[in-house]
Structure 1
Amino acid sequence: MKKLSARVLAGTAILASAGLLVGIAPSDAAVTTRAAVSAHTKPALNPASLSYTYKCWGHPDNCNVSVYAPKGWKFTQLSVAHAKFTDSSNTWMLRVDGSLGGKVSTNTAAQQRVKALHSTPGLKIVSRAHGTVKSEVPWSTPPVAYTSLTYTYRDGARGQRWVSTRFVDTYTQGKHAYIEITVAGRPQDQAGLNRVLAKATQWVALVG
């Protein structure tokens, strides 16, 4: 009986320590571990498997930002103009922030992000690029101009992560960054995430 009690206490202490290390309760630590394992074993995101749905959000009873996002991904509104979409295992993410306000150009916004990422563990800047694409939004006339920043970094729980962010200008050919679109996942998910990013770029809009 004493041996059994000792084992139970030791096991409880280990779980409690795991919870404290990541700032969560022991029961949540087990859920987090299962999610991390699921993310590691999940097949790469296949572009052909994706379908999309229209989503709009903003102030209560109003639409301020709209985009086409992968169907079935969970929608979470982070602020009035800022939201994210994630798959069930939290392996893949699309995030759209329409609150940039055009204060700087798309190129300057990308430069500022590189500086902000300076101390990120394992950071490697993969590429920076400028581009334009025809908007698919019915009421939008100018092409969408953007500056892309793609990088990888090391996440303690999930391992190597791949991220691509576009600072988007839907009005003035890149002179003002109004929207940030970010996709994230594992390096092997690049093809699928690039498709998500391309779709979002063509359909993102500031509505009202």
Structure 2
Amino acid sequence: MLTPRHQALLMTLAGMTVGVAVFGTVLAINSHRDDDKRATDVVVSQTPSSPTPRGDGLQADSLQYTAQTFGTDRAPVTAEVPATWKATQDGQRPRFMDPTGVWQIRFDTRGSSKSPERQVSDRERSIKEKQLNVLSRDNGTLVYTYVDDTRGPRMGLSHWISTDNGESSALEITVGGRPQDEAALRAVLDRATKTLQLPDNRPN
């Protein structure tokens, strides 16, 4: 028969055993949670960031081109645009934009009785953007910069093409980007202009 002293000792040992078991369970749970947290952290840290344009500007020699046809079925127009720029609008006023949304080229094939010079003057007066600065307005081309509330400093080049010695405008091409992209924007505009084919298949 156990004496009161032995009974007390057994109860103490039993309490210690339960305590160790509970502590081990808590430690295992916390360790599992920590493992889950570390696993989550690893997944988050491996999430790729969105591509961002180079700060020194779009490089003209990095662009490859592909022919795009737009306009109408009865009066199709073809021109080459950067291959990775996708159509976001078609028809007579198609627009092609790069995946980041920084650069774009658009066409207006509807034509106008106004001369390219008149179109340049009218467009200059119609632009309502902040801090508008017209850089040049020569040869039917308006080059300008402005500041967009969301995207910051921007640059646009609008060019009108005539097929009747400047009496009217057959088509407009406008490219847009940032001021540091000017060389590449001019290259895109030049490529589209040189490869342009109007409904009679005559390049202009």
- TM-score, normalization: structure 2? 0.68
What per-residue deviation string (whole Å, max 9, x for no partner) do you get for residues 168-208 of structure 1?
11x21222111110011011101111100000111223227
Structure with larger Rg = 2
| 2:105–2:176 CA contact under 8 A, matched in 1 | yes
| 2:71–2:109 CA contact under 8 A, matched in 1 | no
Q: Does 1 or 2 have the higher relative contact order (CA < 8 Å, sep 6+)?
A: 1
Question: Match for 1:188: what amino acid?
Answer: Q
Partner of 1:159: 152
Out of 111, 126, 145, the residue aligned to residue 116 of structure 1 is 126
What per-residue deviation string (whole Å, max 9, x for no partner) do you get for residues 7-30 of structure 1?
xxxxxxxxxxxxxxxxxxxxxxxx
- TM-score, normalization: structure 1? 0.67
| 1:162–1:186 CA contact under 8 A, matched in 2 | yes
Tell me, in whole angstroms, the C-alpha distance in 2 between the residues paired with 1:52 and 1:187. 22
Question: Match for 2:76: what amino acid?
Answer: N
Out of 173, 181, 194, the residue aligned to residue 181 of structure 1 is 173
* Structure 1 residue ranges, 4+ long, deviating more than 3 angstroms after superposition: none
Tell me, in whole angstroms, the C-alpha distance in 2 between the residues paired with 1:156 and 1:128. 25
Name structure 1 gaps, 5 residues minimum.
1-33, 131-146
Deviation of 1:45 after TM superposition, in Å, equals 0.9
Partner of 1:91: 102
Tell me, in whole angstroms, the C-alpha distance in 1 between the residues paired with 2:97 and 2:89. 12
Name structure 2 gaps, 5 residues minimum.
1-48
Tell me which protein shows more strand as a share of its residues: 1
Partner of 1:9: none
| Counterpart check, 1:46 vs 2:59 | yes
Tell me, in whole angstroms, the C-alpha distance in 2 between the residues paired with 1:74 and 1:153. 25
Out of 55, 67, 85, the residue aligned to residue 68 of structure 2 is 55
**Equivalent runs, 1:14-93 vs 2, <5 Å:** 38-39=52-53, 44-59=57-72, 64-78=76-90, 80-93=91-104
Equivalent residues, number = 152
Cα distance, 1:63–1:177 mapped onto 2, change above 3 Å: closer
Tell me, in whole angstroms, the C-alpha distance in 2 between the residues paired with 1:66 and 1:52. 13
Question: Match for 1:201: what amino acid?
Answer: T
